[in-house]
Structures are given as C-alpha cells and as structure tokens.
C-alpha cells in the first residue's frame, strides 16, 4: 500500500510507489519504467491511498500501469473518482446507525457498526468503559450526530479517557473543538483538519457553492439550490454542474426517490460549511434568501393542498420540514425578517395540523407573535402578517378543542379583517369563530357565523372553500339533533370536495356521514362510510385517523364485537395521546359508555389486554386492524340481555377511560 497523504507534488508519485515496492531508482531509465518492469509479470493489488490532492497524477499513473501490466489491480482511495477507463467506483457509506425511534438493549446495539467502533475505541482509551443501559442512549446520540463517520467516532471515543459518554454527547455542540487530537497524529487525526483538507481541494466556485449550501437543513432539490444560491457570482445555469462536481468529490450526496433527486450534506460538513459561510460575511444574505424561499414554497403549497395533489403537496412540505424549521429559527432571531417568518408559520399551519405537528406549530406561532409585540403593528404588511398568524394559531388551538385560547385570537383577527375589508380573512375568521361557538355548545351562534362565512366563501375561489363551512354546519345540525339538515349539508360537502379533488374534506365528509349513519342506526352504512374514509386518511391527514377509529369502535360495540371495539378504542386513545391531538368531547362520550359496558361483559384480563394492545398500536397497525376482518363476537349474549347503551347514542358525561 502506498500512502500518498504526505505527498505534496504529483510528479513524485512514481518515486513514492517505487519506494513502497522496494525498488531503487536507476540512473539510466525513468523510475516509472522501473516500476512497470517489476509489475509486468506479477499478479498484484496496488493500493494508492488518499489520491484526491494528486488526482491527475494518480490517473495518469493508473493508465500507464494498467496498459503495461495486465495482471495487476489498482485500488485507489479518494474523495473523487480518477475517471480512467475501466474504473469502477464504490462509494464508501458511513457506518451503520441504530434507528432513532427504536430502543435497543446494549447487547443488540453492539452489533451495529458505529456503536461497536465507539465502544471498542472508548474501551481502548479507558479500560473500564462498558456499554450499559445508562450510557447507551448517549452513545447512540454521539454516533448519530457524527453521521456514522469513522474518524469522528474514533476522535469522540478517545475522549472517554476523561469524559463520560453523556458528557461527550453534551459537548458535541462544538464538535470541531471537541474532536481534536495531538499534533503528532496524521493529518486526518482531527475532524476539522479532515474537513479543511477536503475543502482546500475545491475550486473557488465549488467552495462558494459549498458554503452557500450549508444554509439548507435536511437536504435540498436542484430547484431549491438555484433559487437560494444563485446570484451574480454563481449563475443558476451553473448550479447543476457545480453540484455534480461536489458529488464527484464526495462533498455532497445525491439520493433519487419518487422521480426526483434530493441532495444532502453530512451534518458535520454542513456545520463546517456554515462556519465558512459566516467567515465569508455572506451568511445574513443567504439565510434571508433561504427564509424567503421557504415562505414562498409554503405559500404555494398551501393552495395545492385543496386539490387532487394534496398528498403530494403535503409530502413536499414534509421533505422540506427541516428547512422550514431552520428558516423559522432564523426569522425569530432576525427582527428584519420577522414578517417573513410570520407568513411562513401561517402557511404551514394546515400542514402542521394534518400531518401531526400541532404542538410544534403552536410553539413557533406563539414565539413569533410574542416577538411582533415589540414592533409597530400599525405597518400594513406586518399587521396583515400578524392577523394571519393569529388565525393560524387559532386553528391549531381549535384542533385540540381549546376554544378558550382560540376565541380572543379569532375575535382580534375578524376585527382587523373587517377594518381593512379583507373578505378572505373575514371568511376564515367566521369559520373559526363558528367552530369556537360549536365547541362551547352555542349552536345557534355557531350556525349564524358559519352561514355568514359560507356566503362570503361562495363569492370567490380561494381558501376557505364553501365545503369547509358545510362540514361544520353538518356537525352543528347533528349536535342539535337536526339529522335531515345534517345529511343535506354533509352530502353537499362530499359532492363539492370531490368536485375540487380535495381528498381531506372528502374523507371528513365520509367520517361525519358515517357518524350520522350511526346516529340513525344504520351500522352497515356507517361502517362502509368510515372504512372508505380511512383508506386514504392515514396518508393525507394521519391526525384525523383517531376520529375514524372512534366511529369504527362504536360500530364494533353495537355489533357485539367487544374485543375488537376495545382494541379500536384503545388505539383511538393511544394515537390521540402520542400525536398531540385532543379528541372531541362528544366523540369520547359516544364510546366511553360502550367501553365500560364491554369491560363488564368480558373477563377482566381479556378486556384489559384488548385495551392495552390497542393503545400500543402504531398508526399503520391501527389502520390495518380497523380494515381487517372483524373479530369473533359474543354470540352467546342475547341482544335483549345487553344494556341499552350498546344500541343507543350514549349521553355519558365521562370524556376518558382508564386501563
């Protein structure tokens, strides 16, 4: 093996190889001829290690040797391919890492490459080190934050001599200061030195783009990098070529999925690039542009989620969620970009709701609105941004049935909307005000607000759509026991939602029609409606799945499928708790009495086990179970021997059940 790391001049490469082969130079012929003569009749593996800084010389040498020596194989390690005929490139991936969401015992963790490397090197540095249940989470965090990079993990493990794993993890915020080694080590002995080495090999325009790409968190698309990174220094027509060159040099990774390539930087390289960007003095400009790009993307997608491409639009936001978080964090620190941050957070509210991030969404909106209090809210653009953010925050409060928190936000927003004659914001405010009144059981006021908002929504073709008002008018009528009116509103909602291709409100119409069929005693129709809605709801809006499961649980109870009903009720409660959603009180009331009755009819161990199994289900497991064949019913229990609550809409006052 020939280590080329110390080699500064590619012209000396043949001399270095000759020395590694034990050949002496001859005055009468070139040293490359000496090497070639030695290897010509031999079968050998020639290893050229660390070629990147003398890549051109290595490529020329490889071609000469392969042409003259038919029995040799050359293995070259480099951050960039040599690009010679016959070359086969194998990208060395980072070490394997444990799943972030799966807890594992230390013995199982040690079988994962990154964990094993850390444990072995830590034990070498400190004989008493051992992977235990108490330090395993910290070791996992270290390996994950270091991207599975062997060098970084070895440097971190070396600190085990003077620090616990928990302390190492806590100090990884400044990984470049922590992960250093004595000067006597080779050039790759410090993480920063390794990054600097790779960075110094880049061309000036490659360095410029690499620095700018560090503003992206969680990856980016070509279109995203063209929007954020291109300017007079780097044209948007240059971005693709430059990214391709960075991929070739192993600084950027590209992953193809769903017909699109998404590019990423290892987190260590991203932090290194962010430092360079800050030193370059262009960080503020780039992060401002990144924020504006995020805000525009979220605003565009907000309209797309009201059509046939809703699922794909939401997936786009999910792919960029880390970028959105980084942009929001920047806006909260930079006063001049607060308005853009408010617009971004407002546009994301619907995504946060339907894709299960309501707690995070409320936190961002509350922080940005609090920061806006120190600004002059009389400025027209900021005033509208604040009003939209208040409306978005009200939506997320209503999502968890917190009408008390939503009301002042909605009332302030509708006051602003009327003062500036903003019809769209008025309609949205009336929609949320109607929901607030409904949740506080003020059905007449709820109906009045919703009908007024519906008339405004019917004047245009923007959000909110008329079928959103019909959805709540149907629920208000149902709660008021006006079942025929509820049926009319919900059937119209279903037709309009299908006409617009809005899968979410099509599915919510099916949910409410299924619940209405339950109220009318048509269990077959109720099950059909609810199952039809469940097929797609988990993909489009997983946060709504618990409500459908609650309806299917009631169907099961009424059909005497008590174990099945308990599992579905348990899954409803479990998903509601783990995903941060609050189930409507009246939906709990419709199943809680059934749960208690089933627990009385079944052996205690069976009932408790069914509830616990349901609570432990993932979203996917609960959906599959709900759509699977029904469980065996208690046929031996005659219908007339069962409590009346099994067949009626229970009016119970309890809103939760225990295990």
Containing 392, the helix (H) or strand (E) segment is helix 380-399
Instruction: Report the distance separating Cα 573 and Cα 271, nearest Å.
Output: 41
Q: In the prediction, which pLDDT does 462 show?
A: 78
CATH number at residue 398: 1.25.40.10
The model's confidence at residue 640, banded by pLDDT at 50, 70 and 90, is: very low
- What is the pLDDT averaged over residues 379-396? 95
Q: Which long-range contacts (CB under 8 A, 24 or more apart) does 100-108 make?
A: 100/144, 104/136, 105/133, 106/131, 106/132, 106/133, 106/136
Evaluate whether residue 441 is within a structural domain: no
pLDDT at 649 over 70: no
Is beta strand 44-49 parallel, antiparallel or unpaired with respect to 2-3? parallel
Alpha helices in 80-149 (DSSP H): 106-109, 113-125, 136-145
Calpha distance 484→332 (Å, rounded): 49
Residue that is last in its domain, among 384, 418, 452: 418
Q: Each residue of 277-335: pLDDT tens digit?
A: 999 889 999 999 999 999 999 998 887 877 778 888 888 998 999 899 999 999 999 99
Do 49 and 132 belong to one domain? no
User: Quick one: DSSP state of residue 3?
Assistant: E
- In the block, tokens 């405004």 appear at 456
Look at residue 189 and tell me whether its pLDDT is greater than 70: no
pLDDT (tens digit per residue) in 552-605 = 999 999 999 999 999 999 998 888 776 555 566 666 777 888 899 899 999 999
Q: Are residues 236 and 141 in the same domain?
A: no
Among 160, 77, 190, CA closest to 168: 160
pLDDT given at position 177: 61
In a domain, 518, yes or no: no
Summarised one tens digit per residue, pLDDT across range 213-227 is 999 988 999 999 999
For 29-65, the pLDDT digits (tens) are 898 999 999 999 899 999 998 888 888 999 999 999 9
Domain-embedded: residue 199? no
Query: How far, in Å, CA of 450 to CA of 464, rounded?
Result: 12
What are the distances in angstroms from CA 522 to CA 193, 401, 514, 564, 629? 71, 28, 9, 19, 19
Structure tokens, 434: 């109607």
545 in the same domain as 398: no
Q: Do the Cβ atoms of 39 and 72 come closer than 8 Å? A: yes
For residues 271 and 402, membership in a common domain is answered with yes
Domain final residue, candidates 391, 418, 445: 418
The HSE-up count of residue 513 (CA atoms within 13 Å, CB side) is: 25
487 φ, ψ (degrees, to nearest 5): -60, -45
**Pairing mode of beta strands 253-257, 72-76:** unpaired
Query: Domain check: are 321 and 389 in the same one?
Result: yes
Q: Is residue 332 part of a domain?
A: yes
Distances (CA, A) of 23 to 4, 519, 534, 644: 17, 92, 74, 97
What's the gap between Cα 46 and its chain centre?
44
Structure tokens at 465: 């759509």
The pLDDT score that the predictor gives to residue 648 is 33
318: tokens are 């999910």
- The answer to whether residues 393 and 325 belong to one domain is yes
Which of 188-197, 411-420, 467-476, 642-651 is predicted least confidently?
642-651
Q: How many domains does the chain have?
A: 4
CA angle 109, 250, 120 (to 5 degrees): 25
Q: What is the DSSP string of 296-356?
A: HHHHHHHHHTTSTTHHHHHHHHHHTHHHHHHHHHHHHH-GGGHHHHHHHHHHHHHHHHHTT
The contacts of residue 81 (CB under 8 Å, 6+ apart) are: 87, 89, 248
Q: Does 461 reside within a domain? A: no
Going by pLDDT thresholds of 50, 70 and 90, the confidence category of residue 91 is confident
Give, for 277, the enclosing helix (H) or strand (E).
helix 267-280
Q: Give the integer Cα–Cα distance in Å for 227 and 239.
A: 10
Please state, in angstroms and rounded to a whole number, the distance separating the CA atoms of residues 112 and 423: 58
Residue that is last in its domain, among 395, 418, 441: 418
**Rounded CA separation 386/373 (Å):** 10
Pairing, β 253-257 against β 260-264: antiparallel
Q: Cβ-count burial of 634 within 10 angstroms (0-12 exposed, 13-18 middle, 19+ buried)?
A: middle
Residue 442 CB neighbour total at 10 angstroms = 16
More confident residue, 119 or 10: 119
Higher-confidence residue of 104 and 437: namely 437
Q: Convert the pLDDT of each residue in 162-182 to its tens digit.
A: 889 998 888 876 666 666 554
SS3 labels along 594-613: HHHHHHHHCCHHHHHHHHHH
In a domain, 28, yes or no: yes
257-261, 279-283, 302-306, 423-427: least confident range: 302-306
User: Is 253 part of any domain?
Assistant: yes
Same domain, residue pair 307 and 390: yes
**Cα separation of 446 and 452, whole Å?**
10
Query: Residues 179, 223: one domain?
Result: no
Under 8 Å CB-to-CB from 604, ≥6 apart: which residues?
none
Question: Is 331 within 8 Å of 341 (Cβ atoms)?
Answer: yes
Query: The pTM is what?
Result: 0.73
Q: Is residue 200 part of a domain?
A: no
Find out whether 434 and 472 touch, Cβ atoms under 8 Å: yes
Same domain? For 184 and 285 the reply is no
- Cα of first residue to Cα of last residue in the chain, in angstroms, is 65
pLDDT at 659: 35
Arithmetic mean of pLDDT, 462-471: 92
In this structure, the answer to whether residues 65 and 129 fall within a common structural domain is: no
Which domain does 64 fall in, by range? 2-76
Residues in CB range of 298: below 8 A, 6 or more apart:
317, 324, 344, 347, 348, 351
Are 243 and 354 contained in the same domain? yes
651: pLDDT strictly greater than 80: no
257, 381: one domain? yes
Rounded distance between C-alpha atoms, residue 574 and residue 585, angstroms: 16
């Amino acid at each position: 093996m020939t280590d080329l790391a110390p080699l500064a001049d590619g012209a000396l490469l043949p001399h270095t190889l000759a020395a590694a082969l034990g050949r002496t130079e001859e005055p009468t012929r070139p040293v490359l001829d000496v090497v070639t003569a030695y290897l010509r009749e031999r079968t050998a593996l020639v290893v050229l290690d660390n070629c990147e800084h003398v890549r051109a010389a290595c490529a020329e040498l490889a071609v000469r040797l392969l042409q003259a020596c038919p029995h040799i194989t050359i293995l070259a390690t480099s951050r960039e391919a040599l690009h010679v005929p016959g070359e086969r490139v194998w990208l060395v991936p980072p070490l394997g890492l444990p799943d972030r969401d799966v807890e594992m015992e230390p013995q199982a963790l040690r079988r994962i490459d990154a964990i094993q490397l850390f444990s072995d090197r830590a034990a070498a540095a400190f004989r008493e080190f051992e992977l235990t249940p108490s330090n395993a989470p910290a070791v996992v965090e270290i390996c994950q934050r270091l991207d599975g990079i062997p060098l970084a993990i070895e440097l971190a493990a070396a600190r085990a001599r003077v620090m616990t794993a928990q302390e190492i993890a806590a100090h990884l915020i400044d990984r470049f200061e922590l992960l250093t080694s004595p000067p006597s080590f080779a050039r790759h002995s410090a993480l920063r030195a390794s990054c600097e080495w790779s960075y110094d090999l880049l061309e000036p325009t490659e360095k410029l783009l690499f620095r700018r790409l560090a503003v992206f968190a969680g990856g980016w698309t070509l279109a995203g990098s063209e929007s954020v990174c291109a300017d007079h220094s780097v044209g948007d027509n240059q971005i693709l070529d430059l990214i391709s060159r960075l991929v070739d040099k192993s600084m950027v990774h590209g992953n193809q999925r769903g017909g699109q390539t998404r590019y990423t930087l290892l987190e260590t390289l991203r932090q290194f690039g962010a430092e360079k960007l800050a030193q370059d003095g262009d960080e503020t400009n780039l992060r401002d542009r990144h924020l504006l790009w995020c805000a525009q993307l979220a605003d565009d997608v907000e309209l797309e989620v009201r059509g046939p491409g809703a699922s794909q639009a939401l997936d786009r936001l999910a792919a960029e969620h880390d970028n959105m978080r980084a942009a929001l964090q920047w806006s909260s620190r930079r006063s001049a970009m607060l308005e853009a941050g408010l617009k971004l957070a407002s546009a994301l509210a619907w995504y946060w709701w339907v894709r299960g991030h309501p707690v995070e969404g409320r936190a961002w909106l509350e922080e940005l609105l609090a920061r806006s209090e120190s600004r002059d809210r009389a400025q027209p653009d900021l005033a509208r941004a604040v009003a939209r953010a208040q409306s978005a925050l009200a939506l997320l409060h209503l999502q968890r049935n917190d009408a008390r928190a939503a009301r002042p936000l909605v009332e302030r927003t509708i006051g602003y909307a009327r003062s500036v004659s903003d019809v769209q914001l008025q309609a949205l405010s009336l929609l949320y005000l109607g929901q607030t009144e409904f949740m506080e059981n003020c059905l007449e006021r709820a109906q009045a607000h919703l009908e007024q908002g519906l008339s405004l929504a019917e004047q245009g073709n923007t959000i909110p759509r008329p079928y959103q008002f019909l959805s709540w008018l149907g629920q208000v009528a149902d709660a008021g026991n006006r079942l025929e009116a509820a049926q009319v509103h919900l059937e119209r909602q279903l037709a309009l939602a299908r006409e617009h291709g809005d899968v979410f409100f099509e599915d919510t119409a099916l949910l409410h029609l299924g619940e209405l069929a339950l109220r009318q005693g048509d269990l077959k129709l109720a099950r059909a409606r609810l199952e039809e809605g469940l097929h797609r709801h988990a993909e489009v809006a997983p946060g709504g799945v618990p409500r459908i499961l609650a309806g299917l649980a009631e169907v099961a109870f009424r059909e005497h499928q008590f174990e099945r009903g308990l599992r579905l009720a348990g899954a409803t409660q479990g998903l509601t708790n783990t995903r941060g959603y609050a189930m409507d009180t009246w939906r709990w009331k419709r199943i809680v009495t059934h749960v208690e009755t089933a627990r009385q009819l079944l052996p205690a161990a069976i009932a408790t086990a069914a509830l616990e199994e349901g609570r432990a289900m993932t979203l996917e497991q609960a959906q599959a179970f709900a759509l699977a064949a029904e469980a065996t019913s208690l046929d031996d229990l005659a219908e007339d021997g069962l409590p009346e609550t099994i067949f009626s809409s229970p009016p119970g006052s309890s809103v939760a059940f225990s295990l």
